[in-house]
Amino acid sequence: MTVKETDQEVILTHPKDANTTVTILKYGATVYSWKMANKEQLWVSTAAKLDGSKPVRGGIPLVFPVFGKNATDEHLSKLPQHGLARNSTWEFLGQVKNDPPTVQFGLGPENANPELTKLWPMDFSLILTVELGIDHLKTAIEVQNTSNSNELKFNWLFHTYLRTEDIEDTMVTNLTGMTAYDQLLAETYVERHPALTFSEEFDRIYKKVPENRNIQVVRHGQPIHTLKRENLPDTVVWNPWIKKSAGMADFEPKSGFKNMVCVEPGHVNDFIILPPGEKWNASQTLYKDDLKFQAIM
C-alpha cells in the first residue's frame, strides 16, 4: 500500500523499498518524517505538537503568505510569524502518481484557519505536491490568485529542518559570494567563507542564490543532504543554538540544536505580486549527491 490515509496524516511508502517513507500531517500539510532506507532525514522536536494546537517544531513547516513578522502591510502585519499555512488544516486531495508515490494537499479561504483568514481576507488557492522518490523527496507548491480583481502579495518558504549527527562537524556549502542579511546583527554583507560552520546562534537570509547552486549540508567531508530549488531565489540558514533552544518550549531535547540545521528555500527577500487569476509555482528537491563544491566568488 503506497498511500495510507488516517484522520490526521498521510503516509507514503515507496513501492521499491518499504523502508523509504514520508509522513505528512494534514495540519499545516507538514512533512514531519522522511526516511530513506529507514534512516530519518529530518529533525523533529520530541516536544513537537502533532495535535494541531501549534505549528510543528521540525520537519518541513510551510511559510505563507509572510516570512517572519511583517510590520508594515495592512493585512500581513496582522498575521502571526510565518503566516497561516503551517497552522491551518489542509485538505488531502489524493494520490496523483503511483511511482514515485505522489500526493497533493489543498488550502484556501474555505478551509484555512478562520481566525487568520479574517485578518488576511484574500482569495487564494494553494496546492502542495509531495513526491517520494527512492532517492529524493520533492515538495512543490502552486499558489493561485483566485481573485478577479486584486493582486496577491506573498512570500513562500519551505522551513526545512535537516538532520545531522553533530552540528559542530557540519557545514553548509555553495553560498559563497552570495549577499546575506544577518537577522541577528541586522547587517547585510557578502558571504566570503567557503562554507558556513556553526558555533553559535545562526540566522541568515541568503539572497538571489542562482538556481544552479545546489546547496549541500556536509559532514566529515561527505554531503549528507543536497538541495535543488526551482523558482526559490532566497535561502534561510538557521540554527537556534543553546539560548534560543532553551527559550522554545516545544524545542526538545534542549540539546537538539546539535542535530539539526534549517536550510530553508523561499522567496522572502521581497514579495511576489501575483495578478488576478495567475499561478506561481516553486519546488525544493532533497537528495543525495557527491560533494560538488561551487565556490564561485
Q: Could you list the residues that contact ligand TA6 (CB under 6 A)?
A: 68, 81-82, 159, 183, 203, 236, 238, 262, 264
Amino acid residing at 21: T
264 catalytic residue (yes or no): yes
Supply the minimum distance, in Å, between the C-beta of residue 278 and ligand TA6.
27
Q: Is 57 annotated as a binding residue?
A: yes
Supply the minimum distance, in Å, between the C-beta of residue 172 and ligand TA6.
14
Q: Do 9 and 56 touch, CB atoms closer than 8 A? A: no
75 catalytic residue (yes or no): no
From residue 71, how far is each of 131, 157, 162 by CA, in Å? 35, 18, 29
For residues 102 and 139, which CB has a smaller minimum distance to ligand TA6 in the complex?
Answer: 139
Supply the minimum distance, in Å, between the C-beta of residue 63 and ligand TA6.
8
Dihedrals φ, ψ of 244, to 5°? -65, -40
Supply the minimum distance, in Å, between the C-beta of residue 203 and ligand TA6.
5
Dihedrals φ, ψ of 60, to 5°? -130, 75
Active-site annotation holder among 14, 159, 225, 267: 159
The residue number whose beta carbon is nearest to ligand TA6 equals 238
- 21 CB-near residues (< 8 Å, 6+ apart): 11, 12, 13, 14, 33, 34, 35, 132
Q: Is 204 annotated as a binding residue?
A: no
For residues 147 and 179, which CB has a smaller minimum distance to ligand TA6 in the complex?
Answer: 179
Distance CA 7, CA 242 (A): 36
For residues 11 and 48, which CB has a smaller minimum distance to ligand TA6 in the complex?
Answer: 48
For residues 135 and 203, which CB has a smaller minimum distance to ligand TA6 in the complex?
Answer: 203
3-state secondary structure of 169: helix
Active-site annotation holder among 82, 131, 264, 267: 264
Dihedrals φ, ψ of 291, to 5°? -70, 120
**In which element (H, E) is residue 252 found?**
none
**Residues belonging to the active site:** 159, 264
- List binding-site positions for substrate: 57, 81, 86
Which residues carry a binding-site annotation? 57, 81, 86
